[in-house]
Structure 1
């Protein structure tokens, strides 16, 4: 089980409580107001207070289709434990399984039909803004004050910066305990060593490295089988990205986050331009088109919508470069099941055309928990989240004494193999309040965390540069919390169009002709109006570019 250590400054106060606990854990309708106001007068929103009667609460739970033994998520040990503990506090919890790759579609259906659970989850801040504007979400300020004291103590820094719209709270944001939790580039050090190569530092050097991987086959898998860069389909569910290489091309993350998993665009001379509207963006995808034609990325990436081929490529040892959310030790461990001497290491950000280096770093807030107006008992939803705050170590480390032991503030896995089978593949998705449990660990703390492994020194050598890379080069994008009606109307169509259009550009025989289609379609779907609206927001907040 991978755990992160060392305090993050913004979370010190909150995490002092966490360690104390661990040692001592659009359906419309309504008036859009707080359920403590007129809507609660009927009693429907205030929850049951009958002694001995359980309050029903239905909670979203992502299904990543990654069960190692076919076990149902709803039958797992931590799910059962949470349900058991919740009953002691008067809550009857039902987990509603949501396929991770269908999050946006399913959430939209739930909001439109009023059939969703009491807590829906998303990373999409724009979706929260849209549903709040439409009157589809409960306001949570009064409910949080009344039923969420442990929530407020635990995730105060995240509540301070996220989850509100027009001055009212509509979401409970999870707090990222470590901002070293975003996409990161990784490369096979054992392949570099066999070829006598240094790690690439620019996009041009990355091309030469990928070409050498293909032509010289350092893994001995056969030249025709080498897929130098593991990459899945460009889609909502993609598990591999190109943030890092695109940063290296000069595209920044000056715009709001969307479900396009690449840098958003650049804010220059008082104007924001999306990546596809930039010359740097065009040249990056020309680069990708070149890689595709030369067989340096998967020929089947367009159809790999579930990232299964992507995972197969790197775990089977046929790929030498990738970008994903996993840290390099996680990927190394997975690959070593097929290739015992494989070693993935962090690749620092590529030097950009202006001579600087940068990478995407996670904000202090992450996942958003929303309560749709269709929920008959929003109070129970907040009571559940407060219950989770009081039992937070269950979804941070598992069951103490069974899955982990606490040593000097660190959660150390007792039996990593048991945890991998029993909890690791899902239990962090049950944690709606914190992502991780500590900040970035020191090298010595990494050794402590992995003391029960046979190679803690090697693991520390692999992971320490990963954390230091975020600390040295990480950049956070803007949090725009003002109304954006153009985005509400157009961003879903733009995103869906670009999934398909950018894929076509990468595989096109005539890149320039296909890129014309990309830009034309982007404009037709409201891209220029979208950029103009983002520009207004960035100017109003005095945003400074991340491209420096």
Structure 2
């Protein structure tokens, strides 16, 4: 028996009181979704989250109305202080490599680059997310599904959370319809017609630009070389086996060389931008299109119509009667407009091994999978970022250039578990996506449908290709060299230049990657 405050309390009762107090504290400490005023305030922990900086004027990628909403609705109730880490979109690979090497990568990081994933996995740089998803990501797992989650699994280990890709279209080809109209020319339907159109753009100069006219443009930005030439070069490839498609490097696929030869012809005839070799970040490419100097170009299927960087919008300001339309002229030997489309997964969301906030990272992604959260992150507020709804789809989206800075948004980079706006059906998803391109809804829809014509998924292995992890960085640099030197050399020197560069490329790791992929392909088929 013990005395306390003049009252007698039994040992049994005292133990019961202490047990209740301890249990109560423990249950409060485990809460992740809400808190009450009576609870003892938690000590905030910091969760760092990567976010793309797309250099949108007046918009802060790390501090805006949406990041503040995330902090209020997820961070504060869970005792988490979110810190968003901006990374320039065009420098994402280089920046993430630097941060990973220094063990300073954000707790929630991501990349589209599968070769980068191979490298991080090989070097033991990533957290196994399997058990964490089971414990803290049940809603997220249900949202993504097992098939999609498998795209983040290598060798039986869940190294990444793959984002769900709503829109699978990838590449597009575009032309100035107003230039065609001024020359009374039809939309080109074949590669030969495309070539003749470029010649007419140069010789007849429908834009009255003189020496500044650029019939066709590309860039040597390592992240965009493929994007600005893909549909053209794919059309030159000949039919190959499934194993070859999975294993061979582009440079040695039959027919690809002839595609590069065609680009060499365009360059030497002044039909391809002579200054492309200086454009190492793609900014000059964008500027030339927006200023009305370019007649045709290749990029993402929606690129000119996006709010950011707003090429078609800026072009309209500079050339009021301008009109950029999607086209599909490049047919292969079988008469198909072959191009690649995205696999069902988008970017790979990863938690670096150095992170001490893996649990919080998965909780954050799990919270994001709630429908009401995704709707806000992908659309903003009615009355602010859009004015109306149709069939539950926000519409009349207001472009950033018409919004005050504190209401500017960049939806795709904060709702990272999904690439694209999802509303339950393909038809609604396309319609919803088109609303994000105010003034260009019909062109967006047309471009999307063209981009899926004769499109196939990109090959994907369910295991790490170690040679790719080992050689990918060096080979990327060599690919730029092949691209530049083969296109800009004299036609008489083309074969010698191309063959020599490709031979060096294959000896520097290209052949090792091909050999390992062939072995992996055969193992997968078993």
Give the TM-score normalised by structure 2. Answer: 0.82
Q: Distance in 2 between matches of 1:341 and 1:148?
A: 51
Tell me which of 411, 418, 436 is aligned to 1:427: 411
Question: Is this contact kept in 2: 1:174–1:368, CA < 8 A?
Answer: yes
Equivalent position of 1:307 in the other structure: 282
Unpaired runs of 5+ residues, structure 2, are 1-28, 33-39
Question: Is this contact kept in 2: 1:231–1:241, CA < 8 A?
Answer: yes
TM-superposition CA deviations, 1:378-434 (whole Å, max 9, x none): 101111112222322232112344213432131213533535966666332122111
Equivalent position of 1:469 in the other structure: 450
Equivalent position of 2:22 in the other structure: none
Q: Distance in 2 between matches of 1:402 and 1:310?
A: 32
Report whether the alignment pairs 1:397 with 2:379. Answer: yes
Equivalent position of 1:121 in the other structure: 110
Equivalent position of 1:73 in the other structure: 61
Deviation at 1:460, TM superposition (A): 4.8
Q: Distance in 1 between matches of 2:397 and 2:483?
A: 45
Equivalent position of 2:332 in the other structure: 352
Question: Is this contact kept in 1: 2:235–2:330, CA < 8 A?
Answer: yes
Deviation at 1:131, TM superposition (A): 2.1
Deviation at 1:326, TM superposition (A): 5.0
Equivalent position of 1:136 in the other structure: 125
Question: Is this contact kept in 1: 2:421–2:432, CA < 8 A?
Answer: no
TM-superposition CA deviations, 1:111-131 (whole Å, max 9, x none): 222122111110122322332
Deviation at 1:472, TM superposition (A): 3.2
TM-superposition CA deviations, 1:143-185 (whole Å, max 9, x none): 11211123223322663441111112111111111112x1211
Distance 1:344 1:442, change over 3 A: farther
Distance 1:47 1:172, change over 3 A: farther
Out of 424-433 and 359-368, give the one that drifted further: 424-433
Distance 1:247 1:55, change over 3 A: same
Report whether the alignment pairs 1:250 with 2:237. Answer: yes
Equivalent position of 2:257 in the other structure: 282
Distance 1:444 1:73, change over 3 A: closer
Tell me which of 47, 54, 58 is aligned to 1:57: 47
Equivalent position of 1:371 in the other structure: 351
Distance 1:108 1:462, change over 3 A: closer
Deviation at 1:133, TM superposition (A): 3.5
Q: Distance in 2 between matches of 1:79 and 1:245?
A: 40
- SS of structure 1 residue aligned to 2:248: strand
Question: Is this contact kept in 1: 2:243–2:518, CA < 8 A?
Answer: no
Q: Distance in 2 between matches of 1:73 and 1:287?
A: 41
Larger RCO, structure (CA 8 Å, separation 6 or more): 1
Distance 1:153 1:51, change over 3 A: farther
Q: How many residues align?
A: 477
Equivalent position of 2:204 in the other structure: 216
Equivalent position of 1:489 in the other structure: 470
Deviation at 1:515, TM superposition (A): 1.1
Matches within 5 A, 1:27-66: 52-64=42-54, 66=55
Equivalent position of 1:533 in the other structure: 516
Question: Is this contact kept in 2: 1:238–1:307, CA < 8 A?
Answer: no
Tell me which of 167, 177, 189 is aligned to 2:156: 167
Equivalent position of 1:96 in the other structure: 85
Question: Is this contact kept in 2: 1:272–1:535, CA < 8 A?
Answer: yes
Distance 1:68 1:501, change over 3 A: same
Out of 235-244 and 135-144, give the one that drifted further: 235-244
Deviation at 1:309, TM superposition (A): 1.2
Equivalent position of 2:36 in the other structure: none
Tell me which of 227, 250, 262 is aligned to 2:214: 227
Tell me which of 270, 286, 292 is aligned to 1:317: 292
Structure number with bigger Rg: 2
Deviation at 1:358, TM superposition (A): 1.8
Distance 1:388 1:444, change over 3 A: closer
Equivalent position of 1:16 in the other structure: none
Unpaired runs of 5+ residues, structure 1, are 1-45, 255-265, 544-548
Distance 1:443 1:478, change over 3 A: closer
TM-superposition CA deviations, 1:428-450 (whole Å, max 9, x none): 21221111113654799479948
Equivalent position of 1:152 in the other structure: 141
Measured on the aligned residues, the alpha-carbon RMSD in Å equals 3.0
Distance 1:518 1:62, change over 3 A: same
Give the TM-score normalised by structure 1. Answer: 0.79
